[in-house]
Structure 1
């Protein structure tokens, strides 16, 4: 719940010094004899780290925090990059910046991120990440946040959803400052390889706060604008590695180590791709807060927070497709390392990305000291995340190719014996070569995207009763919460895979080739937008299909907790014991035109035939949980604290896993035929958590801590696949390619040939339908070690932390079939060194994350171990002006993802270094 804090006016401390230990109704009341400092402002690295240390020290559970070093100055340019400095927190990177966090081995969907104690909605226009419960940190500027708190243990007053951790982002209010405050910063972002845009782009931010009306009313407004142009070089595969696709007859398995692979299983790759991409991104954040503070017993505030995020990109891809492998030899593990195929083609792809996300939040907060001992808080907000307004395609995809077969005898091969593959081709039998315009034709197009509206309406009422008498019971905390999370998704898709053999005239297409990299000779350059315009002008663009999916989750919660305090042989013992009860109701729907058959339009495509009218499916469920917690903190001796915590926490299943619709994944003429269906009755992941830690605060701003944690998690998901037919409105779906009729395949998606469409007499298709189910249980445990040391008054300091995470349920790369395999488990480490004195700040940070399982499924995806070095430096020209420089990824590290073994490459991405130069001013 949103915390009640005893108000005081005209008294100011840095947020890093007076930070409340709990974000719920746990804030401490000002004691009668407490001395409140007047007009003391403490800033800088040392103050920030000391404030974060105090939050950790004064908590009863396991809490870590990062505070702004000064108004509008966070340790890193990105919040996720800052969070990774916390012990046990790792990040996932996208386009050379942190975007989501993993805590103690639990990925983004297992962590609840809140803004000022409120659960915030999230959405995305991309088809692969339409709805997620995980907040994307790249959508909010670090300058907008004054403090981030990471709660690693469950609390009765904390909303459910954080299995790994609950992360609370806090922003400022007018009465956090003493009267008029004005600040602003501007900087230039320097991308080392932004070849398609501007190498230097601006970031500006500002905040103004003023108190009026005889110190009873305040207003704060903040705004930030950031642009970024960046380039990505990628080598990878489109469809990953498989045991069955592409096909290969009689592979050479003589080199396989039968002790590791006794079944002589082989793995093959369908494509080798080189991507050359340029992106433009714009982010805007703003907030207005009105705060009424008539006396020390009452305060009220209303606030509006917004963000606008827009990203556009153009990508071209050179691709080698091994639809089947004629020759290829396996290495010792079974990976086909030298696939080859004759009489094939080269593929030249183009992508256009374009999407926006609009986030808006309106909030109300009332704090009232009803009596000397009773404090009450009411907090309400309505927030919406809206991506891709207007339901325009977020991705437009085009492909060109050489004419297939004997007309274009291009022989292709690849070599996967090293870390990165190389490719080769022989087009000597093709007059003019594979890159000549006369030997290039159209192939296909696709358009896809989502319009998503995610709305969260939340009311939280909390209270605390403070015992006026000296006794073991110090405080009773209680509260009620109601939250409704509504998601509505409109998916758009249009495609035509039959544009070859001269169906489209591309003579007006602006197509060139430029030198490639990483084993390629050339990379294509053309616009997917121009290609689709030509398709549309020539009447070959198919009507778009629209599918609607939605969910409404209604959660009601009650909680009660007790704060106890006593001395045991001169050792201070603090205890918090609580329980939270939640009920959840789930209503889901899917609306779309159902599939009634298939149209065999080409040797590689069975196009779906849909009904004329849309049909709506619904599914409902409900469940409840009792979530207890016990936190014990014991001051063994002065400055040495031992903690023991037990709690039960939950994290709800992925939203798109609960839609009742059927999604068709693969339906090629020769199979496989695969589909999936959601399950509204999925239960949340349920974790019983145990934490023990020992902390020694041996000097000002310095401490050593070590802790053990374990999480026994139930209800992990498994995709239970069943083989069955699918009954459409006109009967079972049948395969028109199983017993070919004369002249088939033929026609097009828009103009089908009846003989080539599904008939009741055709064989029924047996589908492998995957449905998520709650099945598995797993234990995750690990250790967290942290050292923070200030070298006296020298100005030097250092942080070193290390986290280990382990589980028996790890992916066995030598097992043909795996059961539960936990994603995101990896050890992490941080080393930060800094200097701060006489207005000069220097910081160098090294972050390392060991390899981890990114995704499982039929075949795994691992992310290789990654390390990064960042730095920042600043100098205070005077008390109002500061100049600074920042650098990210100084050693130009690349992101490497692979299958079972490192030579089973999936992605290898390079971004280059990123720098920033700027100036910050404040009054």
Structure 2
């Protein structure tokens, strides 16, 4: 089982600025942007600048009057300027006009966002970073160094259900082709519902009445993965495609608008994985293991650092996503607008993982021949030689996951007499996940062992192993229990649903003097997430408790009808291992028995949250001397009623059903002010008290608890309760955030900005042991013992004190034409973020899995984009960097784990040509290469060595290859 990667100790490593060339480049670009701005201001005619400033102030005042309609900030007008520069211009205009501190992405054209996925586009914004999933896709977003747990996500302003066990959405569910833009709120206002602690991401779809005529856009791209096929037979393709079509039109004298879009993704995933299990100094001068206290490993020199086990795994996955978006907008007059929008997506993922692993600890009876060492500190590292007496474990896995995501919303906007307007919004979002996972073990026939020559890298990279047995030959391999796990295979069926029902009512009234309008609203949402997990163990026919006595040496050849050929592990020096149909073998050579363990029963639960919310916000529009001031001040009042139903277990047995919950209230004030300093220069201030509820699976009441008699200490002889589990009484994370930013815009797509922020975490969630826990309502699982009292100890997520985060964000963009006429068409964008944290280590060390830093916190994040766009040609090279962080990962069977992920730098390339005239007018050719340099995923473990020495050693090294897309698009 591949659980080792999530059970390793983690550490931290800081990277100086000198080790991040991209960060230096970002700073240079930002400074050059500021210089260009100053030069442009100095050279421009003063009358023109004054007129621009007056026009800006007038448009701002008019915008404040229109604000009474309370359209979302993300609503865009018709796209007039398209392409890279058009997207930048539209994004900057929205950013300027916003009263909150936001970052914005807009589509380059209909059905055409700047990147292949929403997550990749988001990762280029200041302070945002992505985390890869197990499939290598960028599917999670962190904002300002906080993990995806703290990010709120909405679609058209409505909270979205999620396919994971927490709240964070999988952004791969949302095709870039169907999203017209994204707004990231770094500071909230009182009307923002579904907000996160670190920020809120609002995805928005097209509004058809914003367009003047019918629009039709179609895209078709072929896809190729450079890693090639990792498997023979199933999932062997390394090619795929992406296709989309979008249609927009208006009817009934432009009072009825319709938009429909469909996107299909068929993409291959080909992963090459290598993992070191752990490292140790095996032998001391006394002939015993210094670190483990185990037996001597023959053939090893004294005081040498060795690898204690490893695995190579090849993954082939087919992903098929079909997504549909539709919007109907009706505006029969200026006083009424009704909008119905729908989003539906199915994501079908079928993965095949075949791997080879072995343990090489002192207890495994192995020995070394001709060991070679490389210089390493504090001990020499064994990097070559021959391992003798290995017992290879081959694990073949078949996983099928099918996700369904559905969202619908109906918004009605009315203008009423007396300066009033009102909006009603009904919405529903659901996510459904069905997971089927199965794996089987094979080993050498007759319980045999093998020798393997090896060469290990001293740093990160793939090793080479040369086994003395042909592991691809079915006659050498049998179904068995090669490492005495106690079973021959495992199968699991998971089912999860997440549903959010919401209703919202909003009133806006025009005012005068300091406040131009007041916004009063109410929102009610009911969210319920339910999960069921059913685990079965697979036993070879003729082996096991129901058909005889189980034996770990019992074996059976693989039926020839289930064989596929071989799976190549050539990247690790092994030509191949046997490949077969896991499900076919399960059906013909195994039988199953239900075997839910304690952790499996704990994943059977439901959590419900009923949240009525009220808000009041005053929109500011005034003058401070000669300086126009705009913004908002308001407050949210949030009431939460949460409850959970789950099992109480003792060991692998269900003792009863538990119910629990709590209610709590939060008052969340917020303030956003923007000072218009003239000449498109703004000073912004944001202050807000923010909240984010804990992980949904932390709020479950599922518990393992029982009574036992204490045999020693002051409580000897007493019968006491003890247990562990979730906490249905968990309160949310609370933080107070402060932002101060300065922005300067010049030209059409040039700007410079500086943002400093501070976030005080008043309430944090961590795992601790509560010594005075009340077990009333729990079932006594040991009827022969009567507990002394209902009070005992319980390990559970609890609320505690938080800490502090602070950061600096620099961003800038520059059009080449502002520097020299010869550079017209060229441009650059760059940003750099630096985040520090003083989160209490005692708090962080208690998080399950033991991260030593706040999960998701990269101290440095930087992006650099260079582009050229002229005469139909467009070229863009984009690079993103994030420093090391503790990442949240999902291990086998959808179980959460943490690991330290090292710094990562990825480069993407895009080139296109648009035919603007002639018979091919409307046609575009596009070439995209994602992960141009095939950047690997690298994680680290901290190994404890003798005398208290700790050293960071490689844990995992994976590559997914380059993804190349080439195709055409057509717009009518």
Per the normalisation by structure 2, the TM-score is 0.76
Shift of 1:506: 3.5
Q: Which residue of 2 aligns with 1:886?
A: 928
The separation in 2 between residues aligned to 1:840 and 1:182, in whole angstroms, is 22
CA 693–644 in structure 1, closer or farther in 2 if over 3 Å, else same: same
Query: Quick check: 1:657 aligned with 2:704?
Result: no
Q: Which residue of 2 aligns with 1:904?
A: 953
Q: Which residue of 2 aligns with 1:635?
A: 676
Shift of 1:279: 0.6
Secondary structure at the residue paired with 1:531?
helix
CA 303–55 in structure 1, closer or farther in 2 if over 3 Å, else same: closer
Paired residue for 2:182, among 140, 143, 148?
148
Q: Which residue of 2 aligns with 1:821?
A: 853
CA 618–337 in structure 1, closer or farther in 2 if over 3 Å, else same: farther
The separation in 1 between residues aligned to 2:613 and 2:567, in whole angstroms, is 60
CA 634–542 in structure 1, closer or farther in 2 if over 3 Å, else same: closer
The separation in 2 between residues aligned to 1:825 and 1:452, in whole angstroms, is 29
Structure 2: which 5+ runs fail to align? 1-55, 71-75, 230-234, 293-302, 482-487, 540-549, 706-721, 786-791, 890-894, 944-950
Written as runs of structure 1 = structure 2, the 5 A alignment for 1:404-423 is 408=449, 417-420=458-461, 422=463
The separation in 2 between residues aligned to 1:21 and 1:383, in whole angstroms, is 35
RCO higher in 1 or 2 (8 Å CA, sep ≥ 6)? 2
CA 291–100 in structure 1, closer or farther in 2 if over 3 Å, else same: same
CA 38–350 in structure 1, closer or farther in 2 if over 3 Å, else same: closer
Structure 1: which 5+ runs fail to align? 1-16, 32-36, 124-129, 255-264, 598-607, 665-673, 734-758, 761-766
Written as runs of structure 1 = structure 2, the 5 A alignment for 1:196-235 is 196-235=235-274
Contact 1:442 1:499 (C-alpha < 8 Å) held by counterparts: no
The separation in 2 between residues aligned to 1:861 and 1:26, in whole angstroms, is 51
Paired residue for 1:298, among 313, 332, 336?
336
Contact 1:403 1:501 (C-alpha < 8 Å) held by counterparts: no
Q: Which residue of 1 aligns with 2:875?
A: 842
Query: Quick check: 1:464 aligned with 2:534?
Result: no
Secondary structure at the residue paired with 1:81?
helix
Written as runs of structure 1 = structure 2, the 5 A alignment for 1:584-663 is 584-591=640-647, 594-595=649-650, 608=652, 610=653, 615-662=656-703
1:158-185 deviations in whole A, cap 9, x for unaligned? 1144111100001012212223222211
Shift of 1:861: 2.1
Contact 1:587 1:618 (C-alpha < 8 Å) held by counterparts: yes
Contact 2:100 2:631 (C-alpha < 8 Å) held by counterparts: no
CA 425–893 in structure 1, closer or farther in 2 if over 3 Å, else same: closer
The separation in 2 between residues aligned to 1:404 and 1:634, in whole angstroms, is 79
Secondary structure at the residue paired with 1:572?
strand
1:741-765 deviations in whole A, cap 9, x for unaligned? xxxxxxxxxxxxxxxxxx99xxxxx
Written as runs of structure 1 = structure 2, the 5 A alignment for 1:478-627 is 478-496=520-538, 500-502=552-554, 504=556, 506-508=558-560, 510=563, 513=566, 516-524=569-577, 525-536=579-590, 539=591, 541-542=593-594, 547=601, 548-591=604-647, 594-595=649-650, 608=652, 610=653, 615-627=656-668
The separation in 2 between residues aligned to 1:772 and 1:783, in whole angstroms, is 31
Paired residue for 2:357, among 319, 328, 348?
319
Query: Quick check: 1:918 aligned with 2:962?
Result: no
Paired residue for 1:193, among 227, 233, 237?
227
Per the normalisation by structure 1, the TM-score is 0.80
Q: Which residue of 1 aligns with 2:152?
A: 112
More deviation, 110-119/854-863: 854-863
The separation in 2 between residues aligned to 1:324 and 1:701, in whole angstroms, is 63
Query: Quick check: 1:830 aligned with 2:863?
Result: yes
Contact 2:153 2:194 (C-alpha < 8 Å) held by counterparts: no
Paired residue for 1:861, among 899, 902, 923?
899
Query: Quick check: 1:64 aligned with 2:103?
Result: yes
The separation in 1 between residues aligned to 2:109 and 2:900, in whole angstroms, is 39
Q: Which residue of 2 aligns with 1:873?
A: 911
Shift of 1:569: 3.0
Paired residue for 2:205, among 153, 161, 171?
171
More deviation, 683-692/569-578: 569-578
Paired residue for 1:345, among 369, 391, 394?
391
CA 335–518 in structure 1, closer or farther in 2 if over 3 Å, else same: farther
Shift of 1:372: 5.6
Secondary structure at the residue paired with 1:875?
strand
1:379-435 deviations in whole A, cap 9, x for unaligned? 1111111111xxxx5211111123798x6476899968533474768869xxx9997
Written as runs of structure 1 = structure 2, the 5 A alignment for 1:366-515 is 366-371=412-417, 373-388=419-434, 394-402=436-444, 408=449, 417-420=458-461, 422=463, 437-438=475-476, 440-443=478-481, 444-467=488-511, 469=512, 471-496=513-538, 500-502=552-554, 504=556, 506-508=558-560, 510=563, 513=566
Secondary structure at the residue paired with 1:625?
strand
Secondary structure at the residue paired with 2:250?
strand
Query: Quick check: 1:121 aligned with 2:161?
Result: yes
1:310-351 deviations in whole A, cap 9, x for unaligned? 000111001012465578999756999789997551101101
Shift of 1:634: 1.4
1:13-54 deviations in whole A, cap 9, x for unaligned? xxxx9xx999x99963699xxxxx998822222121112112
CA 908–562 in structure 1, closer or farther in 2 if over 3 Å, else same: same
CA 714–250 in structure 1, closer or farther in 2 if over 3 Å, else same: farther
Shift of 1:527: 2.7
